[in-house]
Amino acid sequence: MPGHLGLHSVEYRAEDQVIEFRAEVTLESFETFALQLCQALDCRVLEQQWGADRHQWLLDFEDCRLWLHYEDYGQVCWFAAESHHSETAEVLVFLAGLMRPLIHTKRLSL
């Protein structure tokens, strides 16, 4: 498993079928971050797209196609399913559960 990914929060939004998360990532560092995240979650990269202020990668996770998005202006990342159905919701819940232990918490020295 890769080292520190810099995840700060992970939230599954059932109504939208997305996992929104915050991380220590910039437009310039996204590729390295995304590759490490994909390795940690055992996702396969199928396609990569990028624009002036965002990245979109199509991934395969457990035979489910997911888009990994990053928007620079909002400093936010999210996973969204390519199609919405009950099996996809189950996969997203499972994926969010895998991501939560990767959240980096700062430890205070006493």
Tens digits of residue pLDDT in 16-42 = 999 999 999 999 999 999 999 999 999
pLDDT at res. 105: 61
**Residues of the chain scoring pLDDT < 50:** 1-2, 107-110
pLDDT at res. 94: 95
Torsion of CA 26, 30, 32, 35, to 10 degrees: 150
Q: Is 68:44 a contact under the CB 8 Å cutoff? A: no
pLDDT at res. 1: 41
Burial of residue 83 (CB within 10 Å: 0-12, 13-18, 19+) is exposed
pLDDT at res. 108: 44
The structure's pTM equals 0.87
Tell me whether strands 64-71 and 44-50 are parallel, antiparallel or unpaired: unpaired
pLDDT at res. 45: 98
